[in-house]
Structure 1
Amino acid sequence: MSDSSTVLKYTPAEMMIVVAARALAGVRTVFVGVGLPNIACNVARYTVAPDLELIYESGVYGAQPARQPLSIGDPTLVTGAISVTSMADLFGLYLQGGLVETALLGGAQIDRYGNLNTTVIGNYDNPKVRLPGSGGACEIAINAQRVFIIMHLKKRAFVEQLDFLTTPGHFHGGTSAQELGIASKGPQLMITDKALFDFENAEREMQLISLYPGVTLDDVVVEIGWQVRVAETLSETAPPTTDEIALVRGRLSSGKQSGGTGEA
């Protein structure tokens, strides 16, 4: 693969995928779902994390799907897998055993401490929208060594107060999650389609660390339901390269295989 830095036109979603892939540099094990996180993981395997092992909630470890999976129950996830086991064994032996280095999660709502809601919008007993619920997200978040969150930056999603706490992040901030016995280090990165955030402060509060090309601070602030914390050094994220965009649009998104690894 060349080191070309020529920039193509790209969408915000493609930028988000590329940033997520770069964040996986050197990672060995990642718990991942379908959709954008799955594409990001496969981009990482071709670029910054060639030894990355993909783990799926359905019981597949080390998957090399022949195409983009439609769900976590898609039979294509078995392709080239190191191990296929029950969900109970995957969660009990791999996840709770501390063998998952990084997890990629998303949600319908997130607050300043990285807590997630995937249960309801509105009142729990009479919600505006009833969402799929936790699935394995809560267990993944509290047992994976660290968590990366990937979501589109929208004010309806970045809220001061969650309608329901489905998955704990840094809970009330500071050391409150550890005081509850949560083993995970919690959310480390918040990857969006406009900017990148981390939680590297004593309060474990989401803070803006990098703007994507062409995005202003005002563009970010207007989409967040609380006063945005900005890191002392605010950088600009490098745009995708032609190689990264080609991976996202080509053999990964289209389901074509290349080489001996067989990723979608």
Structure 2
Amino acid sequence: MSTFTPTEMMTVAAARALSNDDVCFVGIGAPSAACNLARLTHAPDITLIYESGTIGTAPTVLPLSIGDGELCDTALNTVSVPEMFRYWLQGGRITVGFLGGAQLDRFGNINTTVVGDYDNPKVRLPGGGGAPEIAISCGEIFITMKQSTRGFVEKLDFITSLGHGKGGSDRADHGVHTKGPTRLITDLA
């Protein structure tokens, strides 16, 4: 009998959520493993897009970063980062984006900026990068995060990436008309 790690199970669950018709904005790490697993199993025609500008990439090994040469070597096309964000992401051409974070609240809002007061934080985190744009521009968002009491909080110290705001119609009230977070994949569920 084989046993699988929680990380492996998260990867499989995320891969199963993807379809052959998806255009997926892929992050490094678990999202990349999940997207490539989907491509190698049930979704061979999925379009994988990495933030570095590679479109339709099909790596033979998992890339170590968004700048990994394997991505350019196997991409159908490579565009500039501004074109990636303006035409592809903000143009509504990406169906699924993967995000993670240091903190997540019950509305799917994500913090990757600071823990504690912004001006005097307990921990300063790496920041949003492209995540705020991904969170509002992709058709829907899948969040992958390991379960912990420090990560899943009642109220975020800082909202880096919009989920469903305060709930209800708050996302739409801010002029955001994509679905937002639709799946949360953790090591427990």
Q: Could you state the TM-score of these two structures normalised by the residue count of structure 2?
A: 0.96
Measured against aligned partners, the alpha-carbon deviations of 1:163-222 in whole angstroms (never above 9, x if no partner) come to 110000011111110111113110000000111xxxxxxxxxxxxxxxxxxxxxxxxxxx
Larger Rg, first or second structure (1 or 2): 1
Structure 1 residues 41-87: Cα deviation after superposition (integer angstroms, max 9, x where no partner) = 11111222111111111111111123221211222211220110111
Change beyond 3 A, Cα 1:27–1:158: farther
The alignment partner of 2:86 has SS state of helix
Answering whether residue 40 of structure 2 is matched by residue 34 of structure 1, we say no
- The CA distance in 2 between the partners of 1:15 and 1:27, in whole Å, is 23
Amino acid across the alignment from 1:49: A
Superposed CA deviations along residues 209-259 of structure 1, whole A, max 9, x for unmatched, are: xxxxxxxxxxxxxxxxxxxxxxxxxxxxxxxxxxxxxxxxxxxxxxxxxxx
**Is the counterpart of residue 15 in structure 1 residue 9 in structure 2?**
yes
Q: How far 1:15 moved relative to its partner?
A: 0.6
In the TM superposition, what is the alpha-carbon distance from 1:27 to its structure 2 partner?
3.9
Q: Gapped runs of 5+ residues in structure 1?
A: 1-6, 196-264
Q: Given the alignment of the two structures, is residue 87 of structure 1 paired with residue 84 of structure 2, yes or no?
A: no
Question: What is the rounded CA distance, in whole Å, between the counterparts of 2:115 and 2:42 in structure 1?
Answer: 37
Gaps of 5+ in 2: none
- Report the TM-score, using the length of structure 1 for normalisation: 0.70
2:54 counterpart of 1:63: no
User: What residue number does 1:238 align with?
Assistant: none
Look up the SS of the partner of 1:63 in the other structure.
Answer: coil
- The answer to whether the 8 A contact 2:19-2:46 is kept is no
1:1-264 matches, cutoff 5 A: 8-195=2-189
Across the two proteins, how many residue pairs are aligned to each other? Answer: 189
Percent sequence identity over aligned pairs: 53
Structure 1 counterpart of 2:11, one-letter code: I
Q: Secondary structure at 1:79's aligned position in 2? A: helix
Q: CA RMSD in A?
A: 1.1
Q: Which moved more, 1:119-128 or 1:15-24?
A: 119-128
Report SS of the residue matched to 1:178: helix
